Structure 1
Amino acid sequence: MTLLEDFLSGETDRVLHATWEVLGSRDPDLVDPLVPHAARIRRATEKLDLGGLIRPNSANVDFALTKLEHRGQGLCWCEDYPGPLHWDPEREQKAGNVRILSTSEPGWSMTYECACTVCGRVFDVEQGDHHFTWWRWRPRGVKRGT
């Protein structure tokens, strides 16, 4: 089975499997073949009840599709950081995706300054905790919302 078949299957487990494969990958051989099918995948998944506890799983599918759309526009992988709240800077650094330039005092609530290893874009990352640990990535120079 291919990831495209999983996305189009209408089966929750398969759609979520494909979603996490896309979200967790920077492998062009895995992601790029799906790019031309992003609109088709969106149509096939938009009415599925994918469940979810704290946040609907459909939000993760949307993040994966946004990643495909960004890839199709030729944007850097780091363009996806401001979306979902699950990008742990420590994990991203271990994967070679970012360099942590600085941090605040370690704790549940802390901040990071990170730079993308591909394009050099700098992000301010806020770490918080409410039911789970989360990370909000903001590209340097972008105004914060109210």
Structure 2
Amino acid sequence: MSRPDDQPTGGSPLVADLLSGDRDRILPAVWAIVRTRDPEVLAPPARASAAIEAATTDVELGGALASNRWHLAHALGRLRRFAAGECLCGAYPDHQFYDPAKEVDRGHVTVVGTVDTGRQWVPDRICECRDCGTRFQVEQGEYHYPWWAWTEVAPAEGG
């Protein structure tokens, strides 16, 4: 039987948090994975993703309007993308909590235009990934909380 200190943390506090079995440590680690593209941060949990998945299977993660298990599954999906060498912008369409303004602040995307669709109060934004150049049309909506729907679009003419 393994003890918690036998787990494959690789010296990463993030991995230690994800393997802890403690919801109050797991959830901030999940959001750290969702927010970053830093390879030094993502590599240790990517290597430990099988152990993380096993360690979190029976942990009650809660969540009110959106299940925290869904956020964990999304973070694990990001780790798989990272391990496969895929650009992490590919995760945008899979999760409704990527606020374009925050992604701009993190240096992950640039807003290159807007589209007034008449569907929402806020015009859709056209965001371009700063790593690979993929473009997305981002619709912002609101129900019980703000959400964003990212849809990949064709590159600009001549771009």
> Does the pair score TM above 0.5?
yes
User: Does 2:98 correspond to 1:110?
Assistant: no
User: Does 2:73 correspond to 1:55?
Assistant: no
Structure 1: state its 5+ residue gaps: 142-146
Larger Rg, first or second structure (1 or 2) = 2
CA offsets 1:3-39 (integer angstroms, 9 cap, x no match): 1111111111011121111111111111111111112
User: 2: distance between equivalents of 1:110 and 1:40?
Assistant: 42
- Distance apart, 1:47 and its partner CA: 2.0
CA offsets 1:33-61 (integer angstroms, 9 cap, x no match): 11111122111112211010101111111
Q: Give me the CA root mean square deviation.
A: 1.7
- Matched letter for residue 131 of structure 1: H
Give aligned pairs, total.
141
Aligned residue number for residue 48 of structure 2: 37
User: 2: distance between equivalents of 1:95 and 1:17?
Assistant: 17
Sequence identity of aligned pairs in percent? 35
SS of 1:51 mapped into structure 2: coil
- Matched letter for residue 68 of structure 2: N
Aligned residue number for residue 77 of structure 2: 66
TM-score w.r.t. structure 1 length?
0.89
User: Does 2:136 correspond to 1:126?
Assistant: no
Selected match of 1:9 from 11, 20, 38: 20
Selected match of 2:98 from 73, 82, 87: 87
- Distance apart, 1:65 and its partner CA: 0.6
